[in-house]
A and B are shown apart, each in its own frame.
Chain A
Amino acid sequence: MSTLSETSRTESALSTLRRGVRLSPEFRVGLAGTLGLALAATVGRVVVPVAVQQTIDHGLHAHAGPDVAFIRTAVLICAVVVAFTALCAYTMNVRLYRTSESGLAALRVKAFRHVHDLSMLTQSGERRGALVSRVTGDVDQISQFMQWGGLMFLISAGQLVVASVLMLIYSWPLALLVWVSFLPLAFALRRFQRLVSAAYITVRERVGQLLSAVSESVVGASVIRAYAAEDRTARRVDESVEHFRAAQTRAQALVALTFPSSELVAALATGGVVVAGTLLGIGGHLTAGELVAFLFLVTLFVGPMQVATEVLNDAQNAIAGWRRVLGVLDTEPDVADPGPGGVELPRGPIEVRFEDVGFAYPGGPQVLKDVTVDIAPQTRVAVVGETGSGKTTFAKLLTRLMDPSSGRVLVDGVPLDAVRFSSLRERIVMVPQDGYLFDATLADNVRYGRPAATDEELLLALTELGLGEWLDGLPRGLATPVGQRGESLSAGERQLVALARAYLADPDLLVLDEATSAVDPATEVRIQRALDGVTRGRTAIAIAHRLSTAEAADEVIVFDGGRVVQRGPHSTLVAEPGVYADLYASWAAQREA
């Protein structure tokens, strides 16, 4: 399910281009100068045909016999022109690279930031790889086009125009002949390009399947061994390798067939020029030098035709990539920072109020209904309920990862959506169940909560949480590398790090969403106790399925079917018949069985 903006996917290539350039004004810097240089550079390409023509007509076949002095002068002038146009080409290239790469780097960063600004729901609606592509592969495609395809297009177009103009000056009927020869090819190439492009789309799809099959043999290594599924995996890998090879070969065959077609057409044109040109020459309409120059000019048509399919492919990919990037930028963050006009909350104990809050996921049923709750400052609240009762949704609304569909959430009397993100994220921090860790050391990960923290402060935080002994047990202590996604640590240990990270951030309201679910009971209780001590003076809300947390809380809020059905201290709730008493009975049975 993709929730990214769709509007830009149907717009024309030209308007994509226009919008793209508007979003990255860097592209326009010195554009006129660059184009001028490009035109000057292409003039260099017709120097040789002109020199050949001049040499033959005025040097060799001059009335007074070969005139070497004239040829020497002509060659010298031409050499100077060649050198000058090469210089123009160099300057143009460097300018083009510099402006396009600056524009693209800015676009990349802009899109990256925008992805983070999108709401959690929008983010999770996309495959992670797809979002990564928006700031990598898609931008690279534009970059590749700018550096090769776009440049080729510019040069080829210039080359065709300059060659045609020169041909028209020499002889318009012959120019027409060359054009008529190449015109059908130009149309055919458009068709070829569609075929080739479709073939390469298949290649790209197959490479995706190949990567996914190969990654199973690596990421699933232990399951494959535990279940002796080697043969099955090998079969799947073989299949995808073979599919990929077949697609590559097919695409290559198409290119191999279409690529030399321009050679054939060029030969037809050359043959035609020889015949028609000679006849024209006999009639006195053309000199020998002009005819030979034509033969050279025809070769200038071959290059652009040969690269045309590739340039068109490149252009198509670049436009599609650009559209996808713009699609991200077009997506309004539905949970947005109010910006500079927003409220900055002063630090201090936090008070929370839910007023008639309802919530439904887009296109889904109502998961929260009429929730009205007050949480006094400095209280410790446990939120309990069965799987799917709405307790995690409650936490997400409280931390403004999502906005309610109806009603409102207030902190210290201010509607949550009026509070600046910088202030909100500093004061309210949530620890999710799956504590994601970055591929760095343990210290780096904890320090993510407060980048300025010293090693001593990290140690103090871990000790305060009762994790000193665990840390001492790690051979490299704070310098322990946690591996990709923290996978060098056990699931429980990852949760400990995530908790320490949030704790170090020192928020006024700490929200724990089953943050210690994979930790052993003794450690969990120890952390619980530690938090009790250190969270005195702040507000703490814990979503829990282990009811030890509820027993320890000042107040328990019980969710059932998206509603708050009970609330009060554990001791009161457990004594009255209801959802909580049932939950507690089943928990106690588990615990004491």
Chain B
Amino acid sequence: MDRRTFLKLSSASAVLAGFPVPGLTKTLPKGRIAVLFLEGGLDGLAAVPPIGDPMLSRMRRNLVASKPLKVNPFFALHPNLKVFAQLLGRNQAAVFHATNLPYTRRSHFEGQRIAQTGDPSGAETMTGWLGRAMDQAGIAGRALTLDTPLLIRGTTDIDSFYPASLLGSQDPDGALLALIAEGHDGLTARTFAKLHEKAMASESLPRVRDPEGLALATGRAMRDPEGPRVTMIRIPEFDTHANQGTDIGLHPELIGLIDRVIARFREGLGPVWNETVLLTLTEFGRTVRENGSAGTDHGYGSAGLLAGGLISRAGVITNWPGLAEADLWEGRDLLSTLDYRSVCAACIEAALGLDHDVIADQVFFAPKLRRVTPYIFG
């Protein structure tokens, strides 16, 4: 399968949110925050192999890349993370390892829902953690997709405008789009005017599914001083139960795609990269051992990749649990020793300027959530 066919088949998507709205947005946070949602479960041990752990080669004979990029004596990166490696070298990236949301039931549906709501209690939370963060920061969450992803759903009423044509809505409401465009200034007005134009001009809108292109376009939109503060880019297909691949194959290709998406996003942002943090989010890691079909199954702990100019100290940060049989969660998964919501909270704190206690309490409903901000920011 060549790259273009691969990309045509993929159903990646991006959503922009947090446009400043006249009359509603008071003081704008300076920073930008981007979530790269890796659907299906990122194999943290393939992306960031702990080469210094003697159990790695024993537990995984085939799933560690043959020429990993060594970032220190204990950890390496998959060789497809070349741009990310250079960002680490410039103190503009960091990795949190052996981490995930406190969710251990290994279901995609439930896991993806909890990754977005940030509420592992199982309650029917109808808002997403990033949406609640935008509520707290006083920026209106308005999404440019048909169906606002759960992650950025907030409680502000204005959320109910879903103009919805960028990703192929068949029936965009032209009158509503024109009305919104008229009621606003700057980029918001231009964006909705453009959507209106497209809705009127063409029945079949272009389907933008190339994640690299999406990242570039998203970065360019967020570069505008009046542009959106928040984005989420989805990359699906990480669920590699069979023929996962080591140096080449689907999972390595997707890891390379993460790298290119980060590069394109940075390119689109230009100087605004310095005020931005991007973090990956995934529903769970994958099993430590390879399964019978040269793949891995649903696991628990994974790795989170962070990049952006807001980061001031690079490193691989973890309370490493070890890979020996006795160290694994239920004898099969990498243990998560850090609630990934702490990492999300640190990014919100750095980009949107909220206090950790407010984020812990109001965004994640977890007042005792550990603060990890000093490990990488300022």
State whether these chains interact: no
